[in-house]
Structure 1
Amino acid sequence: MTLTRPQPGEYSEGYAPYIAAAPEGDPLALLQAQADEVAKLFAGISEAQGAYKYAPGKWSLKDLIQHLSDGERIFAYRCLRIGRGDTTPLPGWEENDYAATAQADARSLADLLADFQAARAATLTMFRGMPDAAWGNQGTTNNRSITARCIPYICLGHVAHHLTVIRERYLPGLK
């Protein structure tokens, strides 16, 4: 299987920032490398630092890694449904509501990191098993048209976006 970068017309402009943020190369290899990058980054953060918020009303680092896990699962589920030919429109999700009810700060950073790693591993297993023809299947998520082929790139871009936020807004405050 060879996935190629989706073209405009396969996704709505709402997805464009995440697809643009996905690096060039084999998306499945990049997804694995990104999981390793997340592990390395969070390995250097203490349990106390996991509760850090760079500004009032923002998520803690624990909330953020929980969000990465939630997003990973939602994107993978969408890909499964679309890849299997299900054309039922899929709803959006309100990330702040998820964060408010997840109670990530009550979990250990190690547990949250293990959860993300498990979610990413499951995503990769599913992506690797997707039949080639399934990647062209079209569906609707959050009232936006999309092909299954876009979703690995969205997964990459979503995490890349948040890694940038961590490096630019969180890590400077931890020093």
Structure 2
Amino acid sequence: MRIIQPPKPGDYPPYAIMYMKLIPADGMVLKYLQNNFYRVKDLIYSLPKERLLHRYAPGKWSIKETLVHIIDDERIFAYRALRFARNEQQSLIGFDQDAYAKYSGADKRDLDNIFEEYEAVRNATIALFNGLPEEAFDRMGHGTGTANDATVRALAHHIAGHEMHHYFLIKNKYLTI
């Protein structure tokens, strides 16, 4: 798997530091994407079925909704990476993650079905980043307003760090009761 050096400050929006710091700065982000998929899957399959619908507080997502959110976010950020890698100059609009979760139907889905989609999206993400020309990783793209600009390399790390952010939330918030 290819090495993708970590992003530098200025390569990503300020909020994304919370994701960047969860991934080691050794350039092995694609290996972490591959391995952490199994880390998440092992954790989730170790839980009783009823726990998958648990919400740690009113208005929070269930574990199944969180999994589908991870998939949605990865799909969206990989698409952004593709556009930025191809030097798209049009700004991208954001998305309402809460509406996506609300309308995902995640709680009614079979867990195997969720992980089938998760794995397919993950494999596509890794293939995308593996196939990009080296110079594409430093291309900066534009989100909603300049506060959401990011390089392609930063988006690879965002995807990996976002997954770990939710992995730790599940472990620390959803499994404490």
Deviation at 1:74, TM superposition (A): 0.5
User: Paired residue for 1:168?
Assistant: 172
Give the distance between the partners of 1:142 and 1:63, measured in 2 at CA: 25
Task: Report the Cα offset of residue 2 of structure 1.
Answer: 2.8
Which residue in 1 is equivalent to 2:6?
5
- Cα RMSD, aligned residues only: 1.2
Aligned pair partner of 1:132 in 131, 134, 142: 134
Q: How many residues align?
A: 173
Judge conservation of contact 2:5–2:25 (CA < 8 Å) in 1. no
Q: Is the 8 A contact 1:87 1:138 kept in 2?
A: no
Report runs of 4+ in structure 1 exceeding 6 Å deviation.
none
Contact 2:3 2:29 in 1 (8 A): no
- 1:62 has 2:64 as partner: yes
| Structure 2 residue matching 1:149: 3-state secondary structure | helix
Equivalent position SS for 2:89: coil
* Aligned counterpart, 2:24: 23
- Percent of counterpart pairs with the same letter? 33
- For each residue in 1:8-36, what CA deviation from the matched residue of structure 2 results, as whole angstroms up to 9, or x when unmatched? 12222122221122233311111111111
Report matched runs for 1:76-115 at 5 Å: 76-115=78-117
The answer for unaligned runs of 5 or more in structure 2 is: none
**Are the counterparts in 2 of residues 47 and 108 from structure 1 also a CA contact under 8 Å?**
no
In 2, the alpha carbon distance for the partners of 1:48 and 1:14 equals 33
Report the equivalent of 1:34.
36
What is the TM-score of this pair, normalised by structure 2? 0.93
